[in-house]
Amino acid sequence: MARRGQPRRRRRGPERAWAEPPVAVRGGRTVDSGGTVRGGSAVRGGRAGRRPGAGRLSRVPRAVLVVLGCLPGLAAVSGLLLCAVGVDRVVAGSARPVAARPASVHQAARPPVVPRSGWLGDGARHGRPPPARYDDRVVAVFVHHTDSPNGYDCADVPRIIDHLYAGQTGPRDWDDIGYNFLVDRCGTIYEGRAGGVERPVTGAHTQGFNHRTAGIAAIGSFTEGVPVPREMTDAIAALAAWKLGLSDIDPRSRVRLVSSNDRSRYAAGTEALLPALAGHSDGYMTSCPGAALAARLPEIRETAARLQGRL
């Protein structure tokens, strides 16, 4: 709680700002940013149990863990619904720029992206976001839906994103919107979380797996039987192909990620083998991104691979 007369500090999502550093995997072993080799084996499904010393990451004291589920509604944001997201602890100083990586062999073209100013306006009403946090690279993307109404006019999307932003930074007291990108039913891609679309910004979209990943939210609700516009899936594929191509990651492959949160689908410290182009439910216990959109993920992976020149 802020002292009397001092401004209240915003939270970076449902936790305050601490987390383990990005993790690399070499030869089946986990290597932290300090070069320490740690044990751990891949887990392919379900919630993994923990063994002493297996795949553990060092914990930072006093972190506050909050888990969110898909909510029935948010009266404060004109009835729009928001699917479960979450952030992890962030190491102080991790906002330092990351050295440029060599050009990828399978780097896809960058699709057009509407900047934050396209839905924030001059930003004066929302204030200035805190410094962004970064990982070393993006090796996976998680696809979400916003669980909000589908019958919108695409001209109204900036207002819709602004409402979603208000729902996270207002009642939830987050410091920014959690998704890195949002895509509307007309195929327009919008920048979400601040920090730069070309950089590996640490998001707040998949609790336990926010590091080294990007969150792409489809604006709408795509439960069983709901049509998913082709323009939307093509835009998601183009965006995923570009972001994964920067690290030369095949969208059809599986990658090793280490869970940083016990409330994800995997216990904290567990190394999980997940799709490089995954649905939210692959890493978190949720129905997001909806059965209809989840069923389109194989097709989206193939399209993204083709855009990278892999077919």
**Using one digit for the tens of pLDDT, what is the confidence trace for 32-52?**
333 333 333 333 344 443 433
Identify the pLDDT of residue 174. 76
Instruction: Flag the least confident range among 128-132, 184-188, 230-234.
Output: 128-132
Residues 220-249, mean pLDDT to the nearest whole number: 98
Q: Where do runs of H (alpha helix) occur along the chain?
A: 117-120, 157-169, 230-245, 280-283, 291-294, 297-307
Average pLDDT over residues 269-288: 98
Distance CA 84, CA 82 (A): 7
pLDDT of residue 71 exceeding 70: no
Distance CA 78, CA 146 (A): 14
Q: Which amino acid makes up residue 285? A: M
From 49-53, 115-119, 232-236, the region with the lowest mean pLDDT: 49-53
Identify the CA nearest to 88 among candidates 244, 243, 269: 269
Lookup result for tokens 């080294």: 212
Return mean pLDDT, the chain.
76
CA distances to 20, 224, 250, 272, 273 from 25, rounded to whole Å, are 15, 36, 17, 11, 11
Q: For the ranges 24-28, 99-103, 198-202, 224-228, which has the lowest average pLDDT?
A: 24-28
Cβ(26)–Cβ(19) under 8 Å? Answer: no
Supply the DSSP symbol for 56: -
